[in-house]
Amino acid sequence: MKITLTKKYNIFKAISVFTGLIILSINVFLMCSPNSGDKGDSQINKNDITNIEFRKTIFKEIAIAEKKAQDEADIKFPPTMVKQNADYYDQLATKYRNEIMKKYKINENQKGDIVLEGVQNKWHKY
């Protein structure tokens, strides 16, 4: 099968148009996306303490931070050194939790409520 220069041009033109449509579709999708960089209402709702996904995110980060603190404490002080291990864990876990509270602009009471809600609803399994 022999393809002439005109047919090759038409194929490339079709591919170019198709690629342009894909890029346009992606741009439209990104502009309509709630995380498109618009700092309007969608950003406020996303970081609203009444938003369950926001609370689940915080709960998950706290769980990860506490696991990290325990792992680091176990490295520095073997679990057989109970007091030193526990003290170092408390120090690290407090530091990491404070960083999360600052990141999400929540206070100690809100953090406690989120942790309690997460445990009661078994968010650690999601």
51 token code pair: 């938003």
Distances (CA, A) of 2 to 9, 20, 63, 112: 14, 28, 64, 73
Tens of pLDDT along the chain (126 residues) come to 555 555 554 554 444 444 443 443 333 333 334 444 444 434 435 678 899 999 999 999 999 999 999 999 999 999 999 999 999 999 999 999 999 999 999 999 999 999 999 999 999 874
Residue corresponding to tokens 């741009």 = 27
* In the chain, domain spans: 1-32, 41-125
Helix (H) or strand (E) holding 19: helix 5-32
6 token code pair: 């005109």
Contact 57, 95 (CB under 8 A): no
The pTM assigned to this predicted structure is 0.62
